[in-house]
Amino acid sequence: MTSENLRDLHAFVAVAQEGSFTRAAVRVGVSQSALSQTVRNLEERVGIRLLNRTTRNVSPTEAGQNLLNQVLPALAEIDRGFTQLGSLRERPAGTIRISADEYAVHSVLQPAITRFLPGYPEIRVEITTDFGLVDIVGERFDAGVRRGGLVAKDMVAVRIGPDVPMAVVGSPAYFSRHLPPKRPPDLIQHACLNLRLPTHGELFAWTFAKAGREQRVKVDGPLVFNTIAPIRDAALAGLGLGYLPAAYVREPIASGQLLEVLGPWRKTFEGYHLYYANRRHASAAFSLFVEALRYRTSKPELDT
């Protein structure tokens, strides 16, 4: 349906319901002559008279009544649709779709959602785990979550988590069979548990930094996974060394189940950001969700 047809149908319905061009013109907010011309244009396009006109009143013809019966329910549905849009703008309700990598879901989204959702029973959050920098507009996501340095410059980005230091860990059983590495290049002699990024097909680089210098080591080992949870499990089982977010292995390190090596060479990645295409006309639900996730820090955030 073209905008012209929709406008003309609204004019026809107003005249048919009011039984008067004068009253309908007041209802629609146009002049009587303009309204009369609009209805004539509609009749010319459909090729049949829709209204009987006398000096005292106006009433639908048989064709006009049939059209009225057909379009009234459709126009009512359209009005309900716009009413629902208004309620979504003002009331925190609806579905928020988010793309995030696995550790972002574990470390940032799940804790925030646990606090947030009980207060807003009409909001649903749908999370898709993805390691790539997904096209959130093309894939119809409301937002994505990635480390700050990976967010495209044309996106609005709000910091939602602290920096992410990495740790190389292994079990006491593993180190009973192998000498701990003293420097990153020593990892070449060790069984390392690799992560293959599902969306890239590449192995996640083991990156280290010390005294302002960064180095990458190409490691090898008996196991490759496409998520980080089994890497932690394999490291706990003594099958090799894992390169994991330090917070993800904090508890097993504290309990002695895992030992960290190469601590002086820890690489710290920039924290996670929520990114989305436009801050204008956001729904009440999305605006509240962003504020619930926002990382409170004195450091400047990337918010362009």
| Span 192-211, pLDDT tens digits | 999 988 666 788 889 999 98
State the pLDDT at residue 162: 94
The rounded distance, in Å, linking the Cα atoms of 114 and 126 is 14
User: How sure is the predictor about 212, in pLDDT bands with cuts at 50, 70 and 90?
Assistant: confident
Two tokens at 231? 């890497």
Class of domain 3-88: mainly alpha
| DSSP annotation of 186 | G
Two tokens at 240? 């090799």
Looking only at the bridges linking them, the beta strands covering 156-159 and 272-276 are antiparallel
Q: How far is CA 186 from CA 170, 189, 195, in A?
A: 14, 6, 19
Instruction: Summarize the confidence of residues 226-251 as an average pLDDT.
Output: 96
For the CA atoms of 48, 52, 58, 60, what is the dihedral angle to 10 degrees? -50
pLDDT tens-digit profile of 6-45? 778 888 888 888 888 888 888 888 888 888 888 888 888 8
Class of domain 164-269: alpha beta
* Alpha helices in the chain, H assignment, sequence order: 3-18, 21-28, 32-46, 62-90, 102-104, 110-116, 172-175, 229-236, 250-255, 284-293
pLDDT tens-digit profile of 60-118? 888 878 888 888 887 777 777 766 665 555 567 889 999 999 999 999 999 999 999 99
Percent of the chain at pLDDT above 70?
88
The rounded distance, in Å, linking the Cα atoms of 287 and 274 is 12
Q: Among 3.20.20.80, 3.30.1490.100, 3.40.190.10, 3.40.1390.20, name the CATH number for the domain at 94-162+272-293.
A: 3.40.190.10
Query: Residue 94: left if φ>0, alpha if ψ -120 to 50, beta else—which one?
Result: left
Pairwise pLDDT comparison (217 vs 89), residue with the higher score: 217
User: How sure is the predictor about 303, in pLDDT bands with cuts at 50, 70 and 90?
Assistant: very low
Residue ranges, CATH 1.10.10.10, the chain:
3-88
* Per-chain mean pLDDT for the chain: 86
H or E element that contains 125: strand 123-129
The Cα angle at residue 98 between residues 95 and 101, in degrees rounded to 5: 155
| pTM for this prediction | 0.66
